């Protein structure tokens, strides 16, 4: 829908190097009337100082992506929210794709297909499986760039205050409003975890964590497992 603008909310925690790639690339969107909100969770690496030169506002809160993104949403000026991880890169036509998708009646939220920022067939297969899984289940993860109309986000209660799977929990709630728009425009996201911990092990870990979450395992316990190799 023409004439609308997007608030891009970026939760960060010691993400200075990633921000040096992401924020300059978002300046064209700022010039078009969209806004960039960086929400810091306690960085000590200069992320806040750097972000202030490239964001419309920089907010600070405690750790936890859910808490950070809720604060960003509460301070957003625009009706459409895009939650973007610091180690992702938005495709050039990404904002236009969001506006077109949410301009359709009955469409309230969605996400992008992804491409991992590492060469090789294996990483391409991983990304394709991530995209397919999301299309089949309606579940979007944060590294896919979740976008949503702000009133729908607020009605859904925002992100839950849990240390892991906050994006999965939000997806389940948003699916009650509409099935997500799955944009085939690809957002580039970091392959760091797969590179550090191995492809097979990381895939099994992520699928296992999601299964455990759906079976009711405490997210606090899942977060300890997820971060044990950080």
| Predicted pLDDT at 77 | 97
Give 138's pLDDT tier (boundaries 50, 70, 90).
very high
pLDDT digits (tens, 9 = 90+) for 3-31: 799 999 999 999 999 999 999 999 999 99
| Predicted pLDDT at 38 | 98
pLDDT digits (tens, 9 = 90+) for 156-206: 999 998 888 999 999 999 999 999 999 999 999 998 888 887 877 777 877
Give the separation between CA 68 and CA 38, rounded to whole angstroms: 9
CB 109 within 8 A of CB 145: no
- Answer whether residue 2 shows pLDDT above 80: no
> Using CA of residue 78, residue 157, residue 135, residue 89, what is the dihedral sign?
positive
Contacts (Cβ under 8 Å, ≥6 apart) of 129: none
Which tokens sit at 165? 């799977």
Q: Tell me the domain boundaries of the chain.
A: 6-190
Closest by CA to 84, choosing from 125, 114, 53, is 114
| Predicted pLDDT at 124 | 94
| Predicted pLDDT at 105 | 84
For the segment 198-226, the average pLDDT, to the nearest whole number, is: 78
Parallel, antiparallel, or unpaired: how do β-strands 6-12 and 80-83 relate? parallel
Q: For all residues of the chain together, what is the average pLDDT?
A: 92
| Predicted pLDDT at 92 | 92
For the segment 32-61, the average pLDDT, to the nearest whole number, is: 97
Give the separation between CA 186 and CA 188, rounded to whole angstroms: 6
Give the separation between CA 26 and CA 90, rounded to whole angstroms: 8
- Answer whether residue 213 shows pLDDT above 90: no
> Using CA of residue 176, residue 177, residue 179, residue 180, what is the dihedral sign?
negative
- What is each CA distance from 133 to 16, 83, 207, in whole angstroms? 31, 20, 10
Please report the beta strands in 17-166, taking only residues with DSSP state E, as ranges in sequence order: 35-40, 57-60, 80-83, 88-89, 109-116, 146-149
Give 230's pLDDT tier (boundaries 50, 70, 90).
low
pLDDT digits (tens, 9 = 90+) for 69-122: 999 999 999 999 999 999 999 999 999 999 999 998 889 999 999 999 999 999
- What is each CA distance from 82 to 69, 76, 85, 140, in whole angstroms? 10, 10, 10, 13
CATH architecture of 6-190: Alpha-Beta Complex (3.90)
Contacts (Cβ under 8 Å, ≥6 apart) of 217: none
Three-class SS state of 223: helix
CB 84 within 8 A of CB 145: yes
């Amino acid at each position: 829908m023409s004439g609308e603008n997007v608030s891009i909310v970026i939760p960060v925690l010691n993400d200075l190097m990633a921000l040096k790639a992401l924020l300059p690339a978002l300046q064209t969107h700022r010039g078009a009337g969209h806004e960039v909100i960086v929400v810091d969770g306690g960085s000590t690496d200069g992320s806040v100082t750097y972000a202030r030169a490239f964001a419309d506002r920089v907010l600070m809160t405690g750790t936890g992506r859910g808490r950070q993104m809720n604060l960003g949403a509460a301070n957003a000026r625009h009706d459409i929210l895009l939650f973007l991880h610091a180690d992702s890169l938005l495709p050039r036509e990404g904002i236009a794709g969001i506006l077109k998708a949410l301009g359709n009646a009955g469409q309230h939220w969605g996400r992008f297909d992804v491409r991992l920022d590492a060469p090789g067939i294996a990483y391409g297969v991983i990304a394709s499986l991530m995209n397919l899984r999301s299309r089949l289940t309606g579940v979007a993860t944060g590294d896919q760039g979740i976008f949503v109309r702000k009133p729908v986000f607020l009605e859904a209660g925002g992100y839950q205050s849990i240390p892991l799977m906050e994006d999965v929990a939000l997806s389940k709630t948003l699916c009650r409003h509409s099935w997500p728009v799955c944009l085939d425009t690809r957002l580039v996201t970091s392959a760091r975890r797969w590179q550090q911990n191995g492809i097979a092990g990381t895939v099994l870990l992520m699928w296992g964590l999601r299964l455990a979450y759906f079976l009711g395992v405490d997210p606090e316990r899942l977060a300890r497992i997820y971060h044990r190799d950080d």
